[in-house]
Amino acid sequence: MPDRAVRIAIIGAGPSAFYAAAALIKQEDVEVRVDLFDRLPAPYGLVRYGVAPDHQRIKSVAALYEKTASDPRVRFFGCVEFGKHITIDNLRPLYDMVVFATGAQSDRSLGIPGEDLNGSMSATEFVAWYNGHPDYKDLNPDLSVEGVAVVGVGNVAMDVARILAKSIDELKETDIADHALEALKDSKVKNIYVLGRRGPAQAKFTNPEIKEFGKLETADPVVLASELELDPHSATTVEQNRMARQNVEILREYAERGQGDKARKVHFRFLVSPVEIHGDGKVSGIKIERNKLVSTEDGYLNAEGTGEFEELEVGMVLRSVGYKGVPVPGMPYDKRKGTIPNDHGRVLNPETGNPIPGAYVVGWAKRGPTGVIGTNKKDAEETVELLLEDVPHIRRAGVEAKAEQKLEELLEGASCKYVSFDEWQKFNELEVERGKPQNRPRVKFINIDEMRAASSGS
């Protein structure tokens, strides 16, 4: 067993990174030192930049991560970019093991004409914009349009449709980015079309998320009863699957309500696929095709076009058809899945099929962009268990004696003025303090310059 603590670098500081760090310090067999690196100044990844600002309860999980980060065996280094300030080669002499918790930083595209028009963007960009992600602060979505199409019926689609549908009164006491709150104040959006390519029984959203649309202050859910009719396969799904059954029940209740009298409408459409986005430089409409469900050999229900088309007048299209991983410099990449190839978290060399010694992966970079935040706990624990199994076999002589000091030198040499956890906590306190007079959980700083200026009182 080691004569010194095992040094582990975690790349990324989102939920999966924190669950991995927590699992590492919880066990007592191996003494560990864990350093988390994130390219953003703030920790917590999608908890800060993905979870909707009006879903504060989900964000309370950050308190657990804070506890982990406050453990003396764990350090956080914000504003450190993997591939720029640190690389797999310069980390190797400093760490025994590296865990990639890099998530899924891109999104899937629709592959239809007009997708690149102004006003057509991914829901993930829109989410990052309203959540104050520094890379998206200048997205400036045009909210002077009356119609918006949201493609996809997962929970991300629910988030963006709900944020667009809510009144300012419903948003003003959240931690939505100030620039988004300002822009939404002047929003002219009236009709939001949420487009599901398959039927209501196949929708990916969960019950609480679809239920929220029935209780909005200034928007009505609109559902066509004809689009809720179930084919025999879907009827069986609904019988056997509680979530699908309740989704359909909620949608049926919306269909019975009719149009309602609120100013905004959220139209949930099913069995329709976008086939073309129209516009002269800028989105002005979307052509959708009616689908029918066709069962494949393995029982999956596929959407197949019927040749019947419809036009929707929209000025913005948000595609919400799933996140996608991006290649991590120096690591293998599974293009099809958008993940780092791995066996239960041990990174694999795709040429040999063998594990790459000392390299591990957790979260969406491991399994793809599925599951809720809590899903990452079990997932990270599985990886950590394998990592700990490997400890006796790693070549420990390779790690330099003064690794901590060497890391400081490395970051300094790369002109990287990193953010420590103590420094982040000061920024955090300032954000919370700014929020108090407005009854908001916090008022977010958008970038590191703003954070440091506020912290130094300038």
The rounded distance, in Å, linking the Cα atoms of 177 and 66 is 22
| Nearer residue to ligand NAP within complex by CB, 109 or 144 | 109
At closest approach, how far in Å is the CB of 250 from ligand NAP?
Answer: 15
The SS3 of residue 318 is strand
| Nearer residue to ligand NAP within complex by CB, 304 or 409 | 304
Which residues of this chain interact with ligand NAP, rule CB under 6 A? Answer: 110, 151-157, 159, 196-198, 202, 204, 209, 273, 320-323, 369-372
Please give the radius of gyration of the chain, using alpha carbons only, rounded to the nearest integer: 24
| Nearer residue to ligand NAP within complex by CB, 58 or 388 | 58
The position carrying tokens 């905004």 is 264
At closest approach, how far in Å is the CB of 439 from ligand NAP?
Answer: 23
At closest approach, how far in Å is the CB of 1 from ligand NAP?
Answer: 39
| Nearer residue to ligand NAP within complex by CB, 198 or 444 | 198
The position carrying tokens 């209501």 is 200
Contact 145, 136 (CB under 8 A): no
At closest approach, how far in Å is the CB of 111 from ligand NAP?
Answer: 7
| Nearer residue to ligand NAP within complex by CB, 9 or 121 | 121
At closest approach, how far in Å is the CB of 292 from ligand NAP?
Answer: 13
Cα 181 from chain centroid (whole Å)? 20
Contact 256, 262 (CB under 8 A): no
| Nearer residue to ligand NAP within complex by CB, 96 or 209 | 209
Alpha helices (H) in 166-297, listed in sequence order: 168-171, 178-185, 207-211, 232-240, 242-257
| Nearer residue to ligand NAP within complex by CB, 322 or 325 | 322
At closest approach, how far in Å is the CB of 103 from ligand NAP?
Answer: 11
| Nearer residue to ligand NAP within complex by CB, 114 or 196 | 196
Query: Closest Cα to residue 100, out of 275, 345, 303?
Result: 345
At closest approach, how far in Å is the CB of 249 from ligand NAP?
Answer: 19
At closest approach, how far in Å is the CB of 277 from ligand NAP?
Answer: 12
List, in order, residues 6 or more apart from 202 with CB less than 8 Å away: 196, 234, 237, 244, 293, 301
| Nearer residue to ligand NAP within complex by CB, 43 or 50 | 50
Give me the long-range contacts of 135-142 (CB less than 8 A, separation at least 24): 137/177, 137/179, 137/446, 137/447, 140/183, 141/183, 141/316, 142/118, 142/282, 142/315, 142/316
Q: Could you count the other beta carbons within 10 Å of the beta carbon of residue 316?
A: 25
Q: Which residues of 250-281 are buried (b: 16+ CB within 10 A; e: fewer)?
A: bbeebbeeeeeeeebbbbbbbbbbbebbbbee
At closest approach, how far in Å is the CB of 31 from ligand NAP?
Answer: 35
Report which residue type is found at 128: A
At closest approach, how far in Å is the CB of 209 from ligand NAP?
Answer: 6
| Nearer residue to ligand NAP within complex by CB, 53 or 152 | 152
Alpha helices (H) in 27-121, listed in sequence order: 46-49, 56-59, 62-69, 88-91
How distant, in Å, are the alpha carbons of 64, 65, 68, 97, 327 from that of 71?
11, 10, 5, 19, 31
